[in-house]
Amino acid sequence: MRVLLVIGLLAVITLGLGWLLGPRTPAPELPPQLVGPDAAWLERADQLSARRRPLGIASLLLTPIAWWLMIRFGWSAALRAWLEHHIGTNPWIVAAVFTCIFVFATTLLNGPLAYAGLALRRSYGLSAETTAAWLVRQGKELLVSLIVTLVMVEGLYWLLRVAPQRWWLWAAGGAILGSLLLTYLAPYVITPLFFTQRPLDDPTLRTQIMELGARTGVPISEVFVIDASTQGNEGNAYFTGIGGATRVVLYDTLLRQYPKEELLTILAHELGHWRAQHVWKGLLLTALGAPIGLWIVHLLLGWLLPGWGIRDRADVAGLPLIMLLATIGGLATLPVQNWISRQWEREADRFALTATGDPAAFQATFVRLAQQNLADPTPPPLYEGLFATHPAIGRRVADAGSSSSP
C-alpha cells in the first residue's frame, strides 16, 4: 500500500514537471533605454538570483525530509513515549510539549539556511540588519509560529479524539475560520510586532490616491507606511486584510526614492488587488481546498497507521507525518497556486495601467524596483513556472509597453 502511495506521488510530480519542462517562452529583456547608462546592476541581479535559487529550493525540501526521517526511524514515537513516561498521559499536555519541541527543532534546523539568506542579502548591500536584530526578529517569528501551531495542533488532536471519522470536516471548518481570523487580525496584531505603521503623510500623493480610488470604485480610507528600512533596503508594497482591516501598505524604502507618478503606479497596482477582491478569492480557495486536502490526509493516515510506532491518527507522534503529507500536498499544488497568483498580479497590473493611463511610468517603476531589489528581470522559465508568485519583471514591462501601442 505504501509503495502505491509513493508511486502515486511520484506520478503527480513527474506529470507536473513534464508540463512545466515543456517549451516555455523566456521573459523579454528590459528595454535598454529604461535600464539606464549603468547596466552593471543587471549582472549583479542575475548573480544574486542564481545564488538564491538553490537556497530557496533547499529550504523547501529540508523540513519535509527531516520530518520523514523523524517518522521513518521512530524518533517521533520515541519522543512521545518519553514524554508520556515523564509528564503523564494527559493528551492535551503531551500534545503541547510535543508541539513546542517539534516547532523549536524545525526552526533550529532551518536556522543556518535562513542565516545564509541574510548573509547573501548583506553581501549585495540589500540589508544592513545586524545579527542581533535578526536574531530578535527570528525569536518573534518563532513565538508567533509557536502560538499559531499550538492552537492548531490542540484543536486538531481534540477533533481526532472526539470525531475519529469526521474530524477532517470539522478541521476544515476550523481552518477556514482560522484563516479569516488571522487575515483580519494580522494587520492589528502581527505587523506591529515587526514594524511601526503610520498613515501616509504625503498630502499630494494621499489626495491623488484617494481620487484614483474614488474614480475606480475602490473604497479606500487610508494608506499605511511601514518602516521596512529597519530590515533591509528592498522596496515593496502590499494589499492585505478584510473588513475594516483592509488596507494598502507601502514600504518606507519606496517613499524617498520614487517620483510621485511611480508611487501612484505602485498604489494603483495594489488598488487593483483590492478592486478584484484577491484576498477574499484567496480565502475562498482555502475554503475549497481545506476539506479536500484534509480528507486525503484522513485516508492516507488510515492507510499508513499504525506504523513506525505511531498508534493511530489521534497519536500526537503522527504530527510530523500530518505536516509532511500537508507539505507534500502544498508542494504538489504549488505550481497551480503560483500560476493563479501570477494571473492576479497581471490583473492588478492591467488595472494600474488603465487607472493611471501612464505606461511609461509603469515601465520606469518596475525597472526601478528590479534595480533596487536586485531582482532578476528574466528568471529561467522553469523556475518562474514552479516558484514565482509574480510574473518576471521583463514580462511585466514588455506587457505594459504593448498596452500603450494602438
Chain positions contacting Zn ion, by CB under 5 A: 345, 348
By C-beta, is 102 or 344 nearer to Zn ion? Answer: 344
Minimum distance of Zn ion from residue 269's CB (angstroms): 6
Provide, rounded to whole angstroms, the least separation between the CB of residue 301 and Zn ion.
Answer: 37
Task: Using DSSP bridges, classify how beta strands 223-226 and 247-251 pair: parallel, antiparallel or unpaired.
Answer: parallel
Of 232, 234, 96, which Cα lies nearest the Cα of 152?
Answer: 96
Name the DSSP class of 251: E
Contact 306, 176 (CB under 8 A): no
d(CA 341, CA 273) in angstroms, rounded, equals 11
As a whole number of angstroms, the distance between CA 14 and CA 31 comes to 36
CB 321 within 8 A of CB 99: no
Min dist CB 375 to Zn ion, Å, is 14
Q: Which three cell numbers stand for residue 56?
A: 530557496
The DSSP element (H or E) to which 248 belongs, if any, is strand 247-251
CB of 327 vs Zn ion, minimal distance in Å: 25
Which of 234/345 has CB closer to Zn ion?
345
Beta carbon of residue 131, minimum distance to Zn ion (angstroms, whole number): 31
Would you say 96 or 248 has its CB closer to Zn ion?
A: 248
Question: Nearer to Zn ion by C-beta: 345 or 358?
Answer: 345
Torsion of CA 241, 211, 402, 406, to 10 degrees: 150
**Smallest gap from residue 390 Cβ to Zn ion (A):** 7
Task: Considering the complex, state which of residue 319 and residue 369 has its C-beta at the smaller distance from Zn ion.
Answer: 369
DSSP letter for each residue of 6-18: HHHHHHHHHHHHH
Shortest distance, CB of residue 351 to Zn ion, whole angstroms?
Answer: 10
**Residue 248, φ and ψ in degrees, nearest 5:** -105, 135
* Cα gap 314→339, rounded to integer Å: 35
Residue 378 CA to residue 190 CA, distance in Å, equals 34
Comparison of 121 and 275: residue with beta carbon closer to Zn ion: 275
User: For Zn ion, which is the closer residue by CB, 171 or 348?
Assistant: 348
